[in-house]
Amino acid sequence: SMAMQAQKMMCAWGRLCLLLSLLLQLPGSQAKCYFQAKAPCEYEGKQFSLGESWLSTNCLLCTCLHPIGVGCCETTQHPIDFPDWCEARYDSQTCQISVVQKANPSLPCVKSVEHEWGSANTPEPL
């Protein structure tokens, strides 16, 4: 398509564009990505070169796009469809989001006899 061709022409730095497009197409398309044009390719005292990635403490996967900046994407999947008797809990240690029962957060959110997935206590249609 024309748009694709224009994109290719604009992307003279092929490798860089590939990196950017990969960054913006992480699995779980809810993932937010950020691009910082002035950001240095360094994290916690370590220097990174073009194409190298690191995981920041706030669970962003960052890639060095030297000399034009740094691109970072959220790595956590945000669950969007779960019953209202459950809630999403974020664990900053593991960068994972788990869906647990509100009444008992130590239990995972799974279908059970007392909790039907359908609307509240409506029998299944015959």
pLDDT in tens, 38-97: 899 999 999 999 999 998 888 889 999 988 899 998 877 777 788 889 998 888 777 888
CATH number 1.10.10.1100 given to 30-75: no
Cα–Cα distance between 24 and 71 in angstroms, integer?
9
User: Residue 18: what are its φ and ψ, rounded to 5°?
Assistant: -60, -45
Percentage of the residues of the chain whose pLDDT score is greater than 90? 22
Q: Which part of the chain has CATH 2.10.70.10?
A: 30-75
pLDDT band at 16 (very low <50, low <70, confident <90, very high): low
A 10 A CB-CB count for 28 gives 13
pTM of the model: 0.52
Cα–Cα distance between 29 and 41 in angstroms, integer?
25
pLDDT band at 102 (very low <50, low <70, confident <90, very high): very high
Decide: residue 62, CB within 10 A, 0-12 exposed, 13-18 middle, 19+ buried.
buried
Q: Which part of the chain has CATH 2.20.25?
A: 76-111
Q: Which numeric CATH code is attached to 76-111?
A: 2.20.25
Stated as kind and residue range, the H or E segment containing 10 is: helix 2-10
